[in-house]
Amino acid sequence: MVEFTPRTTDAIPPAEVPDVELYHPHSWWTTYVFSQDAKVIAIQYSSTAMAIGLVALVLSWLMRLQLAFPGTFDFITPEAYYQFVTMHGMIMVVYLLTALFLGGFGNYLIPLMVGARDMAFPYLNMLSYWIYLAAVLVLVASFFAPGGPTGAGWTLYPPQAILGGTPGGQQAGILIMLFSLILFIIGFTMGGLNYVVTVLQGRARGMTLMRMPLTVWGIFTATVMALLAFPALFVAAVMMLFDRLLGTSFFMPALVEMGEQLSYGGGSPILFQHLFWFFGHPEVYIVALPAFGIVSDLISTHARKNIFGYRMMVWAIVAIGALSFIVWAHHMYVSGMHPYFGFFFATTTLIIAVPTAIKVYNWVLTLWRGDIHLTIPMLFALAFIVTFVNGGLTGLFLGNVVVDVPLSDTMFVVAHFHMVMGVAPILVIFGAIYHWYPKITGRMLNEVMGHFHFWVTFIGAYLIFFPMHYVGLVGVPRRYPELGETAFIPESVHTLNEFITIAALVVGFAQLVFLFNLFWSLKNGREAGGNPWRATTLEWQTPTTPPPHGNWGDRLPVVYRWAYDYSVPGAPQDFIAQNDPWPNKPVVHR
Amino acid sequence: MSVVIVFILVIAGISLWWLSHQRLLSKPWLELGVDVIDGTPPSLMPTEKIGLGVFLAVVGCLFALFASAYFMRMELSDWQAMPLPGILWFNTLVLVLSSVALQIAVAASRREQIQTVRLALVTGGLTSLVFLAGQLVAWRQLNATGYLLNANPANSFFYLLTALHGLHIIGGIIGLGRTMAKAWAPAPRPRLPLSVELCAMYWHFLLFIWLAILVLFAGWAAGFVEICRQLLT
């Protein structure tokens, strides 16, 4: 061990900042509703995201019912089916995953894990949530608008997105979607500024960047990426609004619709695709990086072992973040491009496999000879590793131009991205909720319900998405509401479709058990105490649980070590908290 | 997408430079103690300034993306460049004045010359309003001469970018108003110098963005890109 004597330099902030700078609420409204406490905002973000996520879950059931039993349900017309597909995709990617990882976990964990009292700009943070809520409400409103929500697909490709043939194209649907996205981006930018600046400026004394838990690294890098990627969606949305409302031709080529020449002319739908995927590809990693970070912490804590290759993990997170900005056109192989571009984007896409593989190896090596406790968070973390590897492998298929072209727009793609950015991050979210629920509420989640939830979700997800790869390889196209009598589609596909639908319904209902558990354990869960997992990171060392506004009481924590001191030989316990000066006595600071 | 790629490279460069000062090669598992050698305490720069810097990076990204879209759309056959109304040069001058006034306010607030600060802030605010009015006049002139919003994509970009830039100026004026409230509040005014500095920083950035938009529409940027292309081929 190398030891360092404290220096008295002016550059070091005082160890104890008096708790005076926070706005302290005086009424019920400012404590629980218009709260500026990052932890309350986190719970607001998470509940809103989960509520709208439930809507998307129901939409996926309706889609699956239609695919398995076409013609059985009168209200699922082809138009309705497209609307379900679109809303399911957009809600899950943007309004659930992004909001939950960054707005939910980011808000709760960043200040606690870096040892801050709150976010850097609490008022802006509060505003961020309320604008997000407005975006969600606007989105929900489109279900009640004349013509219903847009059915353009979650990628909203023009020209079809704003033409009459697409549900909502000439009605309110697409407008509401674009307005909602613009609101979301404005709200997110406000929150994102907070997450970045808090990591930069809010760290406690001794918390160097290389001592931050990987969760913070993941959320931090993902936020930086999101701040740079969401503007692309903003630009695309604004330009499409202009095309739709003001008759410009940014994206719209000359068109004849129903025998009638439209006033558009000369625009480029490909331009939209470039803008959309310049956002859309980093978005995959915006969702994945927080999951990577959280899972590293879950594995290390529940295997009672330091994370293997911490520096490599940090570098890999940064490398993935940077690389993800130069791979976007691999979503556009079938849109037509110069072969050299295809080669370039295939190469960059495959290069991302290197830092990603480093992370997977390091997770496995962390587990190697660890004291593995198969707690529910650990089960979810393990399930994530397996699922992410599965989804990543099919990504290698699709990253290659020659393999992607025949597989493009088949159910294989649907299976791939659901595994890698649907199921995998959701498993981490569940694991993280089981892990941090005791800190948030002071009580443990019920384990029996937790085991039931885990096994049904984990096995069920594979029953849904593994057969879907086969269905795609056979050539079944995505986005078709029904297959009809098609010669190349064997009978097994129809049987599998029914099987997948039943699995999807079962998995969906298992989530109700999880929701029930969240509420039931609030009152009936086992008392957790301050640090039930015997974890090292700062959020478990707060003086009271759940932490109050301001988090730390009178004194901010002082950090003496990195975040992964588990099973240190000679230590009194099998973990040493980050603010524990062992083997030295605590130094009394000014 | 070349413009935004260059922008992202610049951001990546700044991030790497910053990261290179964060001891990414250290071995945190070996280090014990509070004040690690060459430790990286949070920057002494005010948090608000860093927050504004991050925000300006996002705004810069937004406009870089619009510039990218502009260049990609320009290559299609129906593009017809648009003449710039003469009043834009006057507007540019006014916006430069606005920036200069706020810079004077910064200098004066450092020397605690409150009268000069107030005068400079008001000048900055008024010139910004004149700039916005001038932009509206430019719109009317274009409309009157038949350069309508949806007549040609070049026109659409002009209206869209000037509108977006104008909206950012309006946002800035709201911030400037809050700063003025601080300037007219009774002394002591501990937070005034920082507020003035933030306003100036924002204004300089919006001036830069405006100059970039102007270069784009005057066609100089396209000429520059053409030279680069010829050099490359």
Q: With a cut of 90, say whether residue B194 has pLDDT above it.
A: yes
Mean pLDDT of the residues in chain A: 91
Write phi, then psi, for A205 (nearest 5 degrees): -60, 130
Contacts of B28 in chain A (CB under 8 A): 208, 210-211, 310-311, 561-562
pTM equals 0.94
**CA angle, A65 as apex, A63 and A71 as ends, to 5°?**
100
- Per-residue tokens: A383: 């399930």
Contacts of B37 in chain A (CB under 8 A): 4
Rg (CA), chain B: 22
- Per-residue tokens: A166: 């697409």
Q: Do the beta carbons of residue A151 and residue A170 sit within 8 Å?
A: no
pLDDT computed for residue B1 by the predictor? 81
- Per-residue tokens: B178: 């809050």
Q: How confident is the model at residue A5 (pLDDT cuts 50, 70, 90)?
A: very low
- Per-residue tokens: B120: 């400079």
Contacts of B163 in chain A (CB under 8 A): none
B150 and chain A in contact, CB less than 8 A? yes
d(CA B229, CA A191): 40
Distance (Å) of CA A66 to CA A78, A414, A489, A497: 9, 16, 17, 10
Residues 6 or more apart whose CB falls under 8 angstroms from that of A499 comprise A463, A467
List, in sequence order, every residue forming a beta bridge with A261; answer none if it has no partner: A256
Biggest CA pair distance of chain B: 72
B171 alpha-carbon distance from chain centroid: 12
Q: Do the beta carbons of residue B34 and residue A560 sit within 8 Å?
A: yes
What is the least distance, in Å, from the CA of A332 to any CA of chain B? 14
Q: What's the average model confidence in pLDDT over A453-477?
A: 95
B226 and chain A in contact, CB less than 8 A? no
d(CA B122, CA B102): 9
Quick one: closest CA in B to A579, which residue?
B34
Contacts of B194 in chain A (CB under 8 A): none
Q: How confident is the model at residue A4 (pLDDT cuts 50, 70, 90)?
A: very low
Select from B31, B58, B78 the Cβ nearest to the Cβ of A231. Answer: B58
Q: Do the beta carbons of residue B206 and residue B172 sit within 8 Å?
A: yes
pLDDT computed for residue B23 by the predictor? 83
Helix (H) or strand (E) holding A256: strand A256-257
Q: Do the beta carbons of residue A226 and residue A128 sit within 8 Å?
A: no
d(CA A23, CA A31): 11
- Per-residue tokens: A131: 């604008």
Q: How confident is the model at residue A3 (pLDDT cuts 50, 70, 90)?
A: very low
* Mutual angle of helices A172-201 and A122-141, in 10-degree steps: 160
Q: With a cut of 60, say whether residue A262 has pLDDT above it.
A: yes
A337-364, pLDDT tens digit by residue? 888 888 999 999 999 999 999 999 999 9
A contact test, residue of B29, B61, B194 with most A CBs within 10 A: B29
- Tell which B residues from 65 to 124 touch A, by Cβ distance under 8 Å: 65-66, 68-69, 72-73, 76-79
Select from A250, A326, A587 the Cβ nearest to the Cβ of B153. Answer: A250
Select from A205, A234, A248 the Cβ nearest to the Cβ of B149. Answer: A248
Q: Where are the domains of chain B?
A: 82-232
- Per-residue tokens: A160: 């079809």
d(CA B167, CA B157): 15
Contacts of B73 in chain A (CB under 8 A): 250, 267-268, 271
Quick one: closest CA in A to B149, which residue?
A248
Q: With a cut of 60, say whether residue A447 has pLDDT above it.
A: yes
List, in sequence order, every residue forming a beta bridge with A558; answer none if it has no partner: A205
- Per-residue tokens: A327: 């791979």
A268: DSSP letter: -
B8 and chain A in contact, CB less than 8 A? yes
Higher pLDDT: A23 or A14? It is A23
Helix (H) or strand (E) holding A139: helix A122-141
* Helix, coil or strand: residue A232: helix
User: What secondary structure does DSSP assign to A417-485, as a single string?
Assistant: HHIIIIIHHHHHHHHHHHHHHHHHHSBPPPHHHHHHHHHHHHHHHHHHHHHHHHHHHHTPBTT-S---S
Distance (Å) of CA A539 to CA A108, A187, A374, A531, B133: 9, 26, 22, 9, 52
Query: Which class is domain B82-232?
Result: mainly alpha
- Per-residue tokens: B222: 């396209």
Q: With a cut of 50, say whether residue A13 has pLDDT above it.
A: no
Q: How confident is the model at residue A590 (pLDDT cuts 50, 70, 90)?
A: very low
Q: Which fold has domain A32-541?
A: Cytochrome C Oxidase; Chain A (1.20.210)
Look at the block and give the residue holding tokens 């929900």: A140
State which of A8-22, A302-316, B15-29, B217-231 shows the largest mean pLDDT: A302-316
Q: Do the beta carbons of residue B73 and residue B157 sit within 8 Å?
A: yes
Helix (H) or strand (E) holding A257: strand A256-257
A400-445, pLDDT tens digit by residue? 888 998 999 999 999 999 999 999 999 999 999 999 999 999 999 9
pLDDT computed for residue A350 by the predictor? 92
Helix (H) or strand (E) holding A173: helix A172-201
User: What secondary structure does DSSP assign to B121-139, as a single string?
Assistant: HHHHHHHHHHHHHHHHHHH
β-strand A2-3 against B31-32: which pairing, if any?
parallel
Q: How confident is the model at residue A583 (pLDDT cuts 50, 70, 90)?
A: confident
Select from B29, B68, B153 the Cβ nearest to the Cβ of A266. Answer: B153
B143: DSSP letter: H
ipTM associated with this complex: 0.94
A contact test, residue of B2, B32, B44, B50 with most A CBs within 10 A: B32
Q: Please return the burial class of A69, using the count of CB atoms within 10 Å of its CB with bins 0-12, 13-18 and 19+.
A: middle
A41-67, pLDDT tens digit by residue? 999 999 999 999 999 999 999 999 999
Q: Where are the domains of chain A?
A: 32-541
- Per-residue tokens: A9: 């330099």
Distance (Å) of CA A24 to CA A18, A317, B57: 14, 36, 32
Which residue blocks in chain B are alpha helix, DSSP H? 2-20, 47-74, 87-110, 114-144, 153-184, 192-218, 220-232
Cβ within 8 Å, pair A4-B31 = yes
